[in-house]
Amino acid sequence: MRLTGKVVVITGAARGIGRAASVACAAEGADLVLLDVCADLLGVPYPLGSASQLEHTAALCRDRGASALTVKADVRDRTSVRDAVALAGDRYGRIDVVVNNAGIAAPSGKAVHEITEDEWSLMLDVDLSGAWRVIREVGRAMSDQRSGSIVNIASTAGLVGYRHFAGYVAAKHGLIGLTKAAALDLAPMKVRVNAVCPGNVRDDPEAEGRMLREIARALDVPAEEHVAAFTESQPMNRLVEPADVAGAVVFLASDDSAQVTGSVLTVDGGFTAH
């Protein structure tokens, strides 16, 4: 029970890695504030997490003995983020951990010179600026209480390039840079900031993940073919599970990582070791 007594805020919690991280934190004794946009976004060519999916995540957390508050919040909007953070503080009196997981994988599937201004702006607004908005709001509270852990969910796309995903790659590289800079800014206040870089995460039906499916769609290849190619590229010859990423999140959220800040923890089955 490494997170007993801690309040954990997780964005993009309706499904996928967000759900897995939420359930893992609940199992370790945390109380949860679960955020998701709970709506589709213009320009994103696939359905995003829904209100019912977010409530299901909360129910899974409560089944493990946790208190779980759900909040509809759009990380693109400063007021929405500010109000969500304020609600979390009012409910629990403190915020100990934030997991910046909200993100989109598309619009993608184009060469860099074919990306439109709107597509580029949308990707960076959600995947990079969204995390910064959350950090800006929780950073004040964590600085005042002289403790806290911020975990940014980046990607192997923050470490290497991928063809036809320039916006996503740029956003995730930027998120790693933000992680390192924020870690230095907040270290004097005893607030830690780290990043997790998942590799190719399996679309686990229980987590309702769909990232690999959407990447395949963006590349216009059959999902089964795409999954087979990704699995073959993994040195450990299997896809990463959502629970693998959630385990890394729990470690960085807990006091087990008390002297870890500004670090990038790669959970990719050795993919970036090539």
pLDDT in tens, 229-243: 878 888 998 889 999
Among candidate residues 27, 34, 21, 33, the one with its CA nearest the CA of residue 3: 27
> Is 211 a residue whose pLDDT tops 90?
no
Dist CA 273 CA 202 (whole Å): 20
- In the chain, the amino acid numbered 157 is A
Catalytic residue among 46, 92, 162, 168: 168
Under DSSP, is residue 18 helix (H, G, I), strand (E, B) or coil? helix
E strand intervals along 11-53: 31-36
Measure the CA–CA gap between 247 and 83, rounded to whole angstroms: 29
Tell me, yes or no, if 46 is annotated catalytic.
no
Q: How much of the chain is helix, strand and coil, in % rounded to 5?
A: 50, 15, 35
Cα–Cα dist 74/141, whole Å: 20
Span 67-120, pLDDT tens digits:
999 999 999 999 999 999 999 999 999 999 999 999 999 999 999 999 999 999
Using CA atoms, how far apart are residues 74 and 192, in angstroms rounded to an integer? 24
Query: How far is it, in rounded angstroms, from Cα 222 to Cα 213?
Result: 9
Q: What is the pLDDT of residues 5-63, one digit of tens each?
A: 999 999 999 999 999 999 999 999 999 999 999 999 999 999 999 999 999 999 999 99
- Measured over the CA atoms of residue 212, residue 40, residue 267 and residue 67, the dihedral's sign is negative
- Give residues with Cβ within 8 angstroms of 76, minimum separation 6: 125, 126, 129, 130, 133
Is residue 111 exposed (0-12), middle (13-18) or buried (19+ Cβ within 10 Å)?
Answer: exposed
Q: Which two tokens stand for residue 95?
A: 């915020």
Paired strand residues for 72: 36
How far is 183 from 115, CA to CA, in rounded Å? 32
Query: How confident is the prediction for the chain on average, in pLDDT?
Result: 95
* Topology (CATH) of 7-264: Rossmann fold (3.40.50)
pLDDT at 95: 98
User: pLDDT-based confidence at 168, cuts 50/70/90?
Assistant: very high
DSSP conformation class of 125:
I
Confidence of residue 258 (pLDDT cuts 50, 70, 90): very high
Distance, in Å, from the CA atom of 108 to the CA atom of 151, rounded to the nearest integer, reads 25
